[in-house]
Amino acid sequence: MKKTTTRLADGRELIYYDAFDATDRSAVDPRPLDPVATASEIRADPLLGDAVAIASHRQGRTYHPPADACPLCPSRAGRHTEIPADSYDVVVFENRFPSLAGDHGRCEVVCFTPDHDASFADLTEEQAALVLDAWTDRTAALSQLPGVAQVFCFENRGAEIGVTLGHPHGQIYAYPFTTPRTARMLDSLAAHRAATGRNLFDDVLARERADGRRLVLDGEHWVAFVPYAAHWPYEVHLYPKRRVPDLLALDGAARTEFPQIYLEVLRRFDRIFGPQADPTPYISAWHQAPVHAADRDQFALHLELFTIRRTPGKLKFLAGSESGMNVFINDVPPEAAADRLREVATTP
């Protein structure tokens, strides 16, 4: 992998990740951009203890541009985008409209491919491996920034999810705090260890493998399953079999197998609702140990993938119970979801 760091016209950092060392990355950004001005603020909810990012400058961000005006495509003669080069493998750059900025963290965009009409599931294993390398490299770099407490790599796919740019891409948030969801996991982890002396993640993984009904894929180094208490209609958790706290700690064997397993799961997601259905909208989220967490080696890196589509043409909306009380109601039994994900396998 070749890594080339440069700057956009407004001073934001941009990094090319290339498969070949000989790739020329000398193109510069000629756009007359003003320096980025952000108004990000973190406020604490006194009742729940949650942190809320207030980011009024995001009201003016790019919203559903036509394909020929996509800011994530490579630059072409007469049309300059966020990527100065006329092609790329993987690119990461600072978000022009960040939710978190300055002392309040950092937001980055990850472009998976220059092909506007592709998706992550269309990548080759080599391309997916390069994205994994980029996620890992950025996790390492962002974890070293002053004040960063947690690094979150994720992808939103589909208009139903709220995506405003159709080009295949993800994001990385470097939070200045431990997120509420991760804090709850850490609390459960500590309580389970105090009660049993064992690791909660290890026990969950062992239970799913022993039960078998919710398994989707069981590889040599990774296992994918629908969780026992899935919140979403179709939800898959992907764990390395050797527990590690973050992407940096994955060994070579796990890194090699990941693209095979992950691409297969994504391709099954696109087959859940039949060949005539639109591509399945989803959120794919890496869960990593907070940077400075005590006993962070007890945390288990894993990826959670889910869709808000529950049946062709119907979405799972967060209604009163979910949005008002955070109590989820799932219309699709996890065992039925796992059955369907096994039925639509693209490999034996």
The catalytic residue positions are 169
Token readout for 245 is 């706290």
Using a CB cutoff of 8 Å and minimum separation of 24, what contacts does 77-86 make?
80/29, 80/30, 80/31, 82/8, 82/14, 82/109, 83/14, 83/111, 83/114, 84/6, 84/8, 84/14, 84/27, 84/28, 84/29, 84/30, 85/16, 85/25, 85/27, 86/27
DSSP β-bridge partners for residue 43: 52
C-alpha closest to that of 104 among 153, 46, 51: 51
State how far the Cα of 203 lies from the Cα of 189, in Å rounded to an integer.
11
Q: Under 8 Å CB-to-CB from 235, ≥6 apart: which residues?
A: 226, 227, 304, 305, 306, 307, 334, 337
Give the torsion through C-alpha atoms of 287, 289, 145, 8, to 10 deg: -10
Residue 126 burial class via C-beta count within 10 angstroms: exposed 0-12, middle 13-18, buried 19 and up = exposed
- Structure tokens, 37: 């001005």
SS3 253: helix
Say how far apart CA 326 and CA 115 lie, in whole Å. Answer: 38
* Closest by Cα among 125, 316, 136 to 235: 316
CA 77 to CA 91: how far, in whole Å? Answer: 20
Q: CA of 105: how far to CAs of 18, 95, 99, 169, 215, in Å? A: 26, 12, 9, 20, 37
Cβ pair 312, 337 in contact under 8 A: no
